[in-house]
Amino acid sequence: MTATCTICEAKVDLPNDCCEGELLVCGDCGTELEVIALDPITIEEAPQVQEDWGE
């Protein structure tokens, strides 16, 4: 299975046992992507985790 990077439009290979919520890295631009749905295959840029510094 393949998907298209939402940033650079390169083809990203998904593992055979891929599941929703899985994180992937685009081989072309290095963007971290998250699998949103499998049917149809939908990926988006993964949210950046923000540090809360104990607040």
Measured CA to CA, the distance from residue 3 to residue 13 in angstroms comes to 7
Please tell us whether the domain made up of 2-45 is placed in CATH 3.40.718.10: no
Q: What is the pLDDT of residue 13?
A: 93
Beta bridge partners of 11: 4
Q: What is the pLDDT of residue 55?
A: 59
The structure tokens listed for 13 are 């290979």
pLDDT tens digits along 1-55: 899 999 999 999 999 999 999 999 999 999 999 999 999 999 999 988 766 666 5
Residue 26 per-residue DSSP state = -
Domain residue spans of the chain: 2-45
Q: What is the pLDDT of residue 21?
A: 94
Q: What is the pLDDT of residue 54?
A: 65
Q: What is the pLDDT of residue 19?
A: 94
